[in-house]
């Protein structure tokens, strides 16, 4: 594949972004203890991040116009690194919120731009593979970065985790600067965003992204206290469980790219949605059958992460003329889903419903699947 080293560099950037996005879920307890706030309030650090990303992504892509996408990658990743540095030294909860917003705005520029670059640098036949390589950085963050970062945070202090992410981000920034070529994309304006959002099939597809990711985050935000109380796990067991989830996600991401190029993005996304529902049905069995909990979270990781690459490929295939804009909007809807999921999770937990989270998440996947079925026939007129 041409430009494979550029794809690997962007994957490194997504690795940095991926850890920064979700590491709070793994170190929620020590952050709450140091800032003397509840775990529900710390959970909202994911919400603030997601909301800033959701709002910032389309606005920043619109503001960038027809700027060289390589420059956007550099600026976005640089901003994310600065946000991680601020998080590592934040003296209180209020400044931690600001650090998370800075991280999010950098990610809002980098991640959709990287996916758009991958689709533009690859041939149509290799588009699914190219996007999955770039998104593999996000999957690897879940596979390795999140469990390792959680272990480091729980063992040596959560600030060390953010500092380490910042250092790796500098390495990724150097790789992007050296290896990614200049990439030009059609300018994006508000009329393009309006056209996408007024197109019912495309809007329904974006809503599939929102509800699917929201369902995952609803359970994942409080997964550490959930399995601590449900299964009595300690730090080592929690780290192992997250590692299984992450490794499966990394494999599922690459598998998703393979399936997209073989059976198409539409069937791949449906397969992953159904499998995600199965994972949520079986996850509560971790209380009485630990092995089933591990199987469940492996399925969750594989299809939950793999879905994103398949969904991006699906959107680009259907509307290639809007690649930058629609991937920016997809990222925005993705983080709106994260916002909604984390907020709803906080409300449920505050009402004593920690153990109800898997069933509410299952309901979200059911809604996502219904939305997908609504796109199925409507999509035919776009292809």
CATH no. for residue 115? 1.20.1250.20
In a domain, residue 258? The reply is yes
Which helix (H) or strand (E) element contains residue 357? helix 357-378
Residue 268 lies in a domain: yes
* Torsional class of 36: left (φ above 0), alpha (ψ -120 to 50), beta (otherwise): left
235, 15, 307, 122 alpha-carbon torsion, rounded to 10° = -160
The pTM is what? 0.74
Q: Determine the Cα–Cα distance for residues 259 and 241; give it in Å rounded to an integer.
A: 26
Which residues does 101 contact at the CB level (< 8 Å), separation at least 6? 48, 49, 52, 83
Distance CA 289, CA 280 (A): 15
Inside any domain, residue 251:
yes
Residue 196 placed within a domain:
yes
Question: 113: domain range?
Answer: 4-377
Burial of 279 per CB tally in 10 Å (0-12, 13-18, 19+): buried
Residue 383 lies in a domain: no
Q: In tens digits, what is the pLDDT along the chain, a chain of 383 residues?
A: 567 888 999 999 999 998 887 788 778 889 988 898 888 788 788 878 888 888 887 788 777 766 777 888 999 999 999 999 999 999 999 999 999 999 999 998 898 888 878 877 877 677 777 877 887 787 777 677 777 787 888 888 889 999 999 999 999 999 999 998 887 766 666 777 788 888 888 889 899 999 999 999 888 878 888 888 877 777 777 878 878 887 888 788 777 777 877 787 788 888 999 999 999 998 888 877 777 878 888 999 888 888 887 888 888 777 777 777 787 788 788 878 877 887 898 889 888 888 889 999 999 999 999 998 887 766 655 44
The answer to whether residue 368 is domain-embedded is: yes
Q: How many distinct structural domains can be found in the chain?
A: 1
What's the helix, strand, coil split of the chain in %, to 5? 90, 0, 10
């Amino acid at each position: 594949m041409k430009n494979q080293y550029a794809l690997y560099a962007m994957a490194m950037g997504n690795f940095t972004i991926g850890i920064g996005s979700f590491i709070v879920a793994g170190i929620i307890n020590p952050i709450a203890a140091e800032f003397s706030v509840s775990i529900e309030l710390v959970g909202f650090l994911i919400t603030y991040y997601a909301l800033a990303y959701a709002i910032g992504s389309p606005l920043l892509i619109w503001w960038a116009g027809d700027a060289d996408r390589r420059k956007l990658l550099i600026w976005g990743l640089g901003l994310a690194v600065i946000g991680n540095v601020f998080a590592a030294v934040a003296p209180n909860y209020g400044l931690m919120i600001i650090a998370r917003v800075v991280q999010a705005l950098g990610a809002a520029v980098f991640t959709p731009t990287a996916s758009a670059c991958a689709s533009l640098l690859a041939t149509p036949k290799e588009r699914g593979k190219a996007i999955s390589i770039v998104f593999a950085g996000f999957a690897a963050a879940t596979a390795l970065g999140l469990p390792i970062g959680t272990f480091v945070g729980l063992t040596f202090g959560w600030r060390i985790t953010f500092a380490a992410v910042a250092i790796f981000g500098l390495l990724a920034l150097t790789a992007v600067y050296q290896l990614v070529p200049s990439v030009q994309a059609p300018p994006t304006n508000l009329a393009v965003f309006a056209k996408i959002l007024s197109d019912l099939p495309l809007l329904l597809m974006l809503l599939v992204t929102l509800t699917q990711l929201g369902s995952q985050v609803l359970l994942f935000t409080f997964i550490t206290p959930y399995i601590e109380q449900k299964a009595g796990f300690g730090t080592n067991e929690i780290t192992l469980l997250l590692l299984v989830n992450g490794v499966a996600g990394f494999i599922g991401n690459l598998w998703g790219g393979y399936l997209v190029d073989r059976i198409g993005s539409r069937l791949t996304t449906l397969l992953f949605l159904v499998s995600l529902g199965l994972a949520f049905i079986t996850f509560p069995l971790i209380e009485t059958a630990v092995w089933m909990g591990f199987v469940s979270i492996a399925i969750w990781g594989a299809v939950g992460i793999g879905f994103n690459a398949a969904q991006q490929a699906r959107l680009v295939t259907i509307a290639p003329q809007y690649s930058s804009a629609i991937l920016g909007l997809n990222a925005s809807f993705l983080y709106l889903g994260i916002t909604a999921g984390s907020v709803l999770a906080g409300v449920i937990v505050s009402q004593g419903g920690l153990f109800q989270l898997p069933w509410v998440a299952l309901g979200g996947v059911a809604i996502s699947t219904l939305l997908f079925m609504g796109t199925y026939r409507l999509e035919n007129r776009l292809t």
